[in-house]
Amino acid sequence: MNELKLKYGCNPNQDPSRIYMRDGSSLPLEVLNGRPGYINFLDALNSWQLVKELKEATGLPAAASFKHVSPAGAAVGLPRTEVLKKIYYVDDLKLSPLASAYARARGADRMSSYGDFVALSDICDEQTAGMLAREVSDGVIAPGYTEEALSILKTKRKGTYNVIKIDEGYKPPTLESKEVFGITFEQGRNEAAITAELLKVRPTANKEIPEEARRDLLIALITLKYTQSNSVCYVKDGQAIGIGAGQQSRVHCTRLAGNKADNWYLRQHPCVLSLPFKESISRPDRDNTIDVYISEDDMDVLADGVWEQFFTEKPAPLTKAEKKEWLSTLKGVALGSDAFFPFGDNIERARRSGVEYIAQAGGSIRDDNVIEVCDKYNIAMAFTGLRLFHH
C-alpha cells in the first residue's frame, strides 16, 4: 500500500487529505489500530526519528512525548528515583527500561504531554502498554508490539487508540520536499550525526564535561533536531526537563524552557509531594492544580472554597523564598541550543535553572560576551559548529 487516506488535514475544512509515497513504493508503516490523522502522522514521523537517534547515540531505549510537531519530553530508559516515581505517578508500577523511558519523557512536562503522540525506540512491551493505557494520549509509534501490548492498546479510547508500526530499517531519500502556497521547496535531509565529536571545541575556561553531562548534551541536541525553531532544551539525568520551542527570540526560548525545568524540579519539593489531594482527583487535575500551586506565592487563587474540590485540607502556600531556596539546589543541568546564543542574557537565565554544561553552535559576533558570562559562573560550554533549525 503506497497511499493512506486521512479523515482530514490539519483542520476539518482541509479535505481531501492523505499520506503517500511519491515513487509508488509501499508506505514504511502500518496502522494496527485506530485512524491516525494528519497531525498525528506529523508527530509520529518526527518523534520516531528522534527516538531512533537517541537509541543510536546512547545505546539505551528511548521515548518521546510529542505535541503539535515538537517534543514535550524525551528521555532514555534509566532508573527513576523514588521521588520521580511519585511525581510521574508510576510508584505503583514495575516498569521495563522502555516504560521507564516513557515515564520520564511524559514526566518532563505533564501538562503539555496531555493528549500526546508517543514514540518508542524499541518493541512496545506489556509494561509500557499498561502505562500508556492509563494516560490521556492520542497514539503511539514503535517498530513493533508484543501480543500482550497490542491487546492492551486496542482497548484504549474505546478501541480507537492509534497504533502505528514503523519499518525500523526504512531510510528516506536524501532529498525532501514540501509545498507552501503551491510552491515546492526542496532540500537535502538533515542527516548530521549527533555524536560526542561535536563537543570537542570548548572555548570556556572550564573545559570539564563529565561523561553523564556529555550524554545529556547529546540528548539535548538530538531533541532540538526535531523541535520547531528557535529552540533550547534543558536535560538532566538522561531526560529533557524543559523544552522551549518555536519562539522568535532565543532568550524567550531559554526563559520558557527554564521555567519548565524549574516547574519539573519544584514538583519534587516536599510541600508538593505532601499535598493532601483527595483520592478521587484524577492525574490531569492534580497536574493542573500543582502547576497553580507552584506558580503562585499564596493560596488566593484557590480561595472561596475552590481548594476544597481538590484537597482534604487547605495546604500552606509555597512562598517565593521557599521556591528560590529549593531551586538553588538544582545542579548539573545540561543545556543545548539549536543555534548560537547571541547575548549573554541567555546564560544568565540558564544558570538560574542549574545549568553547568552548554552545547551551542557558536559563531555569533558576540561569542566573547557569551564565553565571558559562562566563565563568570564556571560553566563549561562546547561550540558544536552545527545549526539544528527545524521547520
What is the grid cell recorded at 179? 509545498
Specify whether the backbone of 262 is left (phi greater than 0), alpha (psi in -120 to 50) or beta: alpha
pLDDT at 116: 97
pLDDT at 162: 98
Q: Say which residue the cell 498525528 belongs to.
A: 40
**209-252 per-position pLDDT tens digit:** 999 999 999 999 999 999 999 999 999 999 999 999 999 999 99
Q: Are 3-166 and 178-266+327-383 equal in CATH topology?
A: yes
- 168 SS3 class: coil
**66-122 per-position pLDDT tens digit:** 999 999 999 999 998 999 999 999 999 999 999 999 999 999 999 999 999 999 999
**Res 300 pLDDT > 70:** no
In this prediction, what percent of the chain has a pLDDT beyond 70?
97
**Res 375 pLDDT > 80:** yes
User: DSSP for 165-207?
Assistant: EE-TT----SEEEEEETTEEEEEE-------GGGG----SS--
Q: Which CATH architecture has domain 178-266+327-383?
A: 3-Layer(aba) Sandwich (3.40)
What is the grid cell recorded at 185? 521547496
Spatial distance between the Cα atoms of 347 and 379, rounded to a whole number of angstroms: 9
**149-192 per-position pLDDT tens digit:** 999 999 999 999 999 999 999 999 999 999 999 999 999 999 99
Of 317, 308, 304, nearest to 278 by C-alpha is 308
Could you tell me the pLDDT band of residue 317, with boundaries at 50, 70 and 90?
Answer: confident
Residue-range domain boundaries for the chain: 3-166, 178-266+327-383, 270-317
For the domain with range 3-166, which CATH number is right: 3.30.70.120, 3.40.462.20, 3.50.40.10, 3.40.140.20?
A: 3.40.140.20
What is the grid cell recorded at 322? 521557599
pLDDT at 2: 87
**Res 301 pLDDT > 80:** no
Q: Considering the entire predicted model, what is its pTM?
A: 0.96
User: DSSP for 33-66?
Assistant: ES---HHHHHHHHHHHHHHHHHHHHHSS-EEEEE
Could you tell me the pLDDT band of residue 387, with boundaries at 50, 70 and 90?
Answer: very high
Active site residues: 67-68, 230, 391
Q: Which amino acid, one-letter code, is at 321? A: A
CA dihedral 60, 150, 32, 68 (to 10 degrees): -50
**Res 302 pLDDT > 80:** no
What is the grid cell recorded at 280? 478521587
**Res 299 pLDDT > 70:** no
